[in-house]
Amino acid sequence: MTYQSINPNDGTLQKSFEHMGNAQLDVALATAERCFQTWKHTGYAERAAVLKKAAALLHAHVDDFARLETLEMGKRIAEARGEVKFSGDILAYYAEHAESFLAPTQLHPATGAAHMESSPMGLLFCVEPWNFPYYQLARVAGPQLMAGNVLVVKHAGCVPQCAMAFEKLLLDAGAPVGAYTNLLISYDQSDRVIDDPRVRGVALTGSVAAGRSVAARAGQNLKRSTMELGGSDAFIVLDDADLDKTMPWAVWGRMYNAGQTCCAAKRFIVLDAVADAFLARFKTALDALKPGDPMDEQTTLGPLSTEAALLQLLGQVDAAVKGGARVLLGGQRIARPGWFMQPTILTDIAPGNPAYRDEFFGPVASFYRVKTEDDAIALANDSDFGLAGSVWTQDEARGRRLASRVDTGMMFVNNIDWTDATLPFGGIKHSGYGRELGRMGIQEFVNKKLVRSGAIAAPG
Ligand code: NAP
């Protein structure tokens, strides 16, 4: 049994679900493929009506969707509400803009006429993580349904009710059966889906390990894929940073969603001149967070999603300490029911310590003191990941110059306002490839077809 809702606040099992059998899976794929044959011919207006309705339903039932997510993966209720609303905004954004994003573009060859047109590729398989149970689904469903593709989706094992709620949302909004199908399947069945000739593309958001496995399988089948994987983002504080403005973002950047965000600030790289002041204030702010029921509006530190995630994080902290790191704050499980971990700051992390390279997916901050901005850039780039990062300075032009030197898919200067329906999201190196959101996100799984016309004489 791998699909289980367990309340991370107290460890109680809410519901369990069996995997679907292979026969049921085959029916789901056949239904999706049949749906594609009609969905691809529907107009943008008809598709947009479904997505606008789904967006309106999310906004009308924010609390219901949010409570389910807080129950299944422990997100604090105010954050969950924000995610639900934003998921609706993403669906509405693509409903509004898909037609213009995919409009034919004229080319200008020396002879004849030519244009590029965009047509849907077909049935797509999406594998999604639990940390944003709706937003991750909206990021693929919004653009891909508007592009005329249909989706079968494997969501994470710990959020089956959110997965089903999103499928129901689209059906309630008028999507035809087969346009979006939630699959409760095993990894072997996931391979089977990737191998299926009806499936034309694969999108995964998750860990590097999952990315390697799923991308390899897609590659064997010569299928297009996008990979949104982990990160170990640098938060670079320059000597002229305004700490009053920087500190709230430092705390939010590490602790939002209990630290379980791919593009969270994970490595705090601070120039010597402000390092002591930054560290003292950061420690005080993290220490002040209050663990509690994530349903309670007063709680400022929620649980981790699963006990396995908590144990993994505690093991990583132990390994870091064995490797010579110092625990400046926290480092322990919190003595109460549920999957709570103390806000933690690690310092003295030398290259060679596993903490130097690994991603901490929870409330653990790594602190590094550096002498110069060149040292900061070198350290930021000494990473297998390349998702995002940020630079903090009162000189915005200097911040932008440094941002250009960091090898990641996204950089932020004096904010980490990570995600916006209009802006592309994604990374390089082990953080993956491809982009979701914005104009780019809808181009990933469409056939960009060249059509050249004109009676050009054959070469003699
Ligand atoms: P995970 O273990 O990789 O799980 C993500 C999804 O992949 C789940 O649905 C999981 O299913 C599935 N999965 C894992 N291995 C698979 C395999 N071999 N075949 C088929 N499906 C497989 O990741 P996680 O630990 O839950 O999520 C956190 C990771 O995601 C972090 O590294 C984070 O940085 C990354 N992330 C990246 C982004 C981004 O946009 N770049 C966004 C959010 C999260 P089960 O749950 O059933 O195991």
Give a three-class secondary structure readout of the chain: CCEEEECCCCCCEEEEECCCCHHHHHHHHHHHHHHHHHHCCCCHHHHHHHHHHHHHHHHHCHHHHHHHHHHHHCCCHHHHHHHHHHHHHHHHHHHHHHHHHCCCEEECCCCCEEEEEEEECCEEEEECCCCCCCHHHHHHHHHHHHHCCEEEEECCCCCHHHHHHHHHHHHHCCCCCCCEEECCCCHHHHHHHHHCCCEEEEEEECCHHHHHHHHHHHHHCCCEEEEECCCCEEEEECCCCCHHHHHHHHHHHHHHHHHCCCCCEEEEEEEHHHHHHHHHHHHHHHHCCCECCCCCCCCCECCCCCHHHHHHHHHHHHHHHHCCCEEEECCCECCCCCCCECCEEEECCCCCCHHHHCCCCCCEEEEEEECCHHHHHHHHHCCCEECCEEEECCCHHHHHHHHHHCCCCCCEECCCCCCCCCCCECCEECCEECCECHHHHCCCCEEEEEEEECCCCCCC
Q: Are residues 309 and 248 in the same domain?
A: yes
Distance 379 CA to ligand 1 centre (A): 26
pLDDT category of residue 334 using cuts at 50, 70 and 90: very high
Q: Are residues 81 and 97 in the same domain?
A: yes
- The number of the ligand 1 atom at minimal distance from the alpha carbon of 230 is 34
- Give yes or no for a contact between 81 and 66, defined as CB atoms under 8 angstroms apart: yes
How many whole angstroms from its chain centre is CA 390? 17
The one catalytic residue among 33, 72, 167, 228: 228
Nearest-CA residue for atom 47 of ligand 1: 157
Tally of domains in the chain: 2
Distance 211 CA to ligand 1 centre (A): 8
Q: Are residues 263 and 201 in the same domain?
A: no
CA distance 95 to 86: 14
- The number of the ligand 1 atom at minimal distance from the alpha carbon of 210 is 15
> Has residue 229 got a pLDDT over 80?
yes
| 252: nearest Cα among 228, 299, 286, 205 | 286
Rounded to an integer, the average pLDDT of 82-96 is 98
Distance 59 CA to ligand 1 centre (A): 27
Q: Are residues 370 and 440 in the same domain?
A: no
User: In the chain, how many H helices and how many E strands?
Assistant: 15, 20
Tell me the sheet residues that pair with 117.
449
Q: Is residue 313 part of a domain?
A: yes
Q: What is the pLDDT of residue 446?
A: 98
Distance 155 CA to ligand 1 centre (A): 9
Q: Is residue 458 part of a domain?
A: no
pLDDT tens, residue by residue, 394-423: 999 999 999 999 999 999 999 999 999 999
Q: Are strands 389-392 and 364-370 parallel, antiparallel or unpaired?
A: unpaired
pLDDT tens, residue by residue, 173-228: 999 999 999 999 999 999 999 999 999 999 999 999 999 999 999 999 999 999 99
Distance 3 CA to ligand 1 centre (A): 14
Among 125, 131, 204, 364, which residue has the most ligand 1 atoms within 8 Å of its CB, making it the best to mutate? Answer: 131
CA distance 321 to 315: 10
pLDDT, averaged across the chain? 98
> Global pTM?
0.97
The one catalytic residue among 126, 158, 262, 263: 262
Q: What is the CATH number of the domain that holds 393?
A: 3.40.309.10
Q: Are residues 214 and 237 in the same domain?
A: no
- What six digits make up the tokens of 431? 């953080």
Nearest-CA residue for atom 26 of ligand 1: 129
Q: Is residue 142 part of a domain?
A: yes
> Has residue 108 got a pLDDT over 90?
yes
Distance 2 CA to ligand 1 centre (A): 14
Q: What is the pLDDT of residue 1?
A: 58
Tell me, yes or no, if 228 is annotated catalytic.
yes
Helix orientation angle between 22-39 and 187-195, rounded to the nearest 10 degrees: 40
CA distance 408 to 377: 12
Q: Is residue 50 part of a domain?
A: yes
Say how many CA atoms lie within 13 Å of 54 toward its Cβ. 36
Q: Are residues 335 and 202 in the same domain?
A: no
Q: What is the pLDDT of residue 330?
A: 98
Q: Is residue 331 part of a domain?
A: yes
> Has residue 275 got a pLDDT over 90?
yes
Residues of the domain holding 395: 233-413
Q: Is residue 426 part of a domain?
A: no
Q: Are residues 20 and 153 in the same domain?
A: yes
Q: What is the pLDDT of residue 188?
A: 98
Tell me, yes or no, if 262 is annotated catalytic.
yes
Q: What is the pLDDT of residue 2?
A: 84
- Give yes or no for a contact between 146 and 51, defined as CB atoms under 8 angstroms apart: yes
Q: Are residues 193 and 107 in the same domain?
A: yes
Residues having CB closer than 6 A to ligand 1 are 2, 127-131, 154-157, 187, 190, 205-207, 210, 213-214, 228-231, 262, 359, 361, 387, 427
Q: What is the pLDDT of residue 421?
A: 97
Q: Are residues 200 and 297 in the same domain?
A: no
- The number of the ligand 1 atom at minimal distance from the alpha carbon of 228 is 41
Query: Residue 90 carries which side chain, given as an amino acid letter?
Result: I
- Give yes or no for a contact between 166 and 126, defined as CB atoms under 8 angstroms apart: no
pLDDT category of residue 460 using cuts at 50, 70 and 90: confident
Nearest-CA residue for atom 10 of ligand 1: 156
